[in-house]
Amino acid sequence: MKMAMHQQLRDEFRHRIDSGSWPEGQPVPSEAVLCQEFGASRGPVRQALAALRQDGAISGGRGKPPVVRPAVISQSVETFLSFTQWAESMGRVPGQQTQEITRRPAGPVIADQLGLQASEPVVSLLRLRLLDGEPAMVERSHFVPSAGRALFDFDTDSGSTFSYLLGAGVDLHSARHTIDAVAADTVDAELLGIAKGAPLLRERRVTFSSTGDRLEYADDRYRPELANFMINNTLHGRTPVARVQSTTTY
């Protein structure tokens, strides 16, 4: 059975992206040019481009011309890399904009994750993380005071808190990750420039010391077209969950 025109166009456009004929970071040809090249009407061309946009292969929309997104690159969650290290390993420019750093009561959710009483204090950090200047992730990190107090002596707009805390002697040894989807709240929407309620990919993380003490609880929310997670399974063993660009964190 012959595929519909928009499906044929989608596959051809995907091939051009995968082959490098349409280079990453560059605009794709206009609808008018594509219609002329393939002898198609605007409807199938728009459907094909919309499918690529939904898959995260191209960006754009709302009046912006479509642009080919960077290639997907894997990163193991078991490899304890910071967001900064992960971005730099792909040749991207990481960035961060601190929205808040404060000492406050843990509250019930954070206390439960860190094994504290709700009234006990934590050091909370809220940052917007950037890839090549583009808003990519909202980072919410909550540290027990013994681990987080050093952050008050650090310019959290300057780089990786993970690397800084390690250098300050904080024993960030291992982590447990939970990955799911969540709707953007008001803060997420404002910082990421998206609609409230839009889907985000969430990674929740509890970080442990080498002796098993809980040091950090984090809730990182990614724009799904910029990051996702991949799981590879084998018959005789378990393999790491991997983060791929389409983002372990800090």
Give the model's confidence band at 76: pLDDT under 50 very low, under 70 low, under 90 confident, else very high. Answer: very low
pLDDT of amino acid 24: 81
**Mean pLDDT within 50-58:** 81
Asked if the model's pLDDT at residue 182 lies above 90, the reply is: yes
Question: CATH code for 5-68?
Answer: 1.10.10.10
Indicate the domain borders of the chain: 5-68, 74-245
CATH of region 74-245, choose from 3.30.450.20, 3.40.1410.10, 3.40.50.11540, 3.30.1240.10: 3.40.1410.10
On the question of a common fold for 5-68 and 74-245, the answer reads no
pLDDT at 9: 92
Structure tokens at 215: 């040091």
Higher pLDDT, 108 or 1: 108
Place of tokens 């894997």: 74
Cβ atoms 151, 162 nearer than 8 A: no
Instruction: Inform me whether the pLDDT recorded for 249 exceeds 50.
Output: no
| Tens digits of residue pLDDT in 192-221 | 999 999 999 999 999 999 999 999 999 999
Residue 250, pLDDT > 50, answer no
Nearest in space to 31 (alpha carbons), one of 66, 1, 56, 76 = 66
Q: Distance between CA atoms of 188 and 190, rounded to whole angstroms?
A: 6
Separation between Cα atoms, residue 196 and residue 183, nearest integer Å: 7
Q: Report the chain's mean pLDDT, rounded to a whole number.
A: 85
User: Can you tell me the distance from the alpha carbon of 108 to that of 171, in angstroms, rounded to the nearest whole number?
Assistant: 25
Q: How confident is the model at residue 61 (pLDDT cuts 50, 70, 90)?
A: low
The residues, ordered by sequence, that sit 6+ positions from 212 with a Cβ below 8 Å of its Cβ are none
Kindly tell me the burial class for residue 42, based on how many C-beta atoms sit within 10 Å of its own C-beta (0-12, 13-18, 19 or more): exposed
Which tens digit of pLDDT belongs to each residue from 101-148? 999 999 999 999 999 999 999 999 999 999 889 999 999 999 999 999
Output the CA–CA distances (angstroms, integers) from residue 199 to 57, 115, 231, in the order listed: 17, 29, 20
